[in-house]
Amino acid sequence: MWFDLKANPAYQQGLAERYKIERKFGEAKGQHGLDRYRYRGLERYTIQAVLTAMALDLKRMVKLLYGVGFRNQSPVMT
């Protein structure tokens, strides 16, 4: 069964795209505290996860709109 799945072109395409998603999970865990629960309970953790996802989305919107990342220096305006 594993060899059939490995030979499947859709599976191979998914593997090629996987790094993009895993990168965001790593950023959420490493830089935004998603690796450790701040509050107990499913509802409270859900709130933490949603707020973390919103922060990541806001960072992405700023980068797409203005071309400036948070780790990069701001461009020089002339």
Q: What is the largest CA-CA distance in the chain?
A: 60
Range of the domain at 23: 2-58
| Residue 65 forms part of a structural domain | no
Predicted pLDDT at 44:
92
Q: Are 28 and 53 in contact (CB under 8 A)?
A: yes
Predicted pLDDT at 4:
85
| Residue 76 forms part of a structural domain | no
What single letter denotes the amino acid at residue 35? D
Q: What's the total number of domains in the chain?
A: 1
Predicted pLDDT at 72:
57
Query: What backbone phi and psi angles, to 5 degrees, belong to 67?
Result: 70, 20
| Residue 12 forms part of a structural domain | yes
3-state secondary structure labels for all residues of 11-50:
HHHHHHHHHHHHHHHHHHHHHHCCCCCCCCCHHHHHHHHH
Two structure tokens written together for 53: 């996802």
| Residue 49 forms part of a structural domain | yes
Taking the chain (78 residues) in runs of 10, the rounded mean pLDDT of each run is: 86 89 90 86 92 92 83 56
- The CB density around residue 18, as the number of other CB atoms within 10 Å, is 10
| Residue 27 forms part of a structural domain | yes
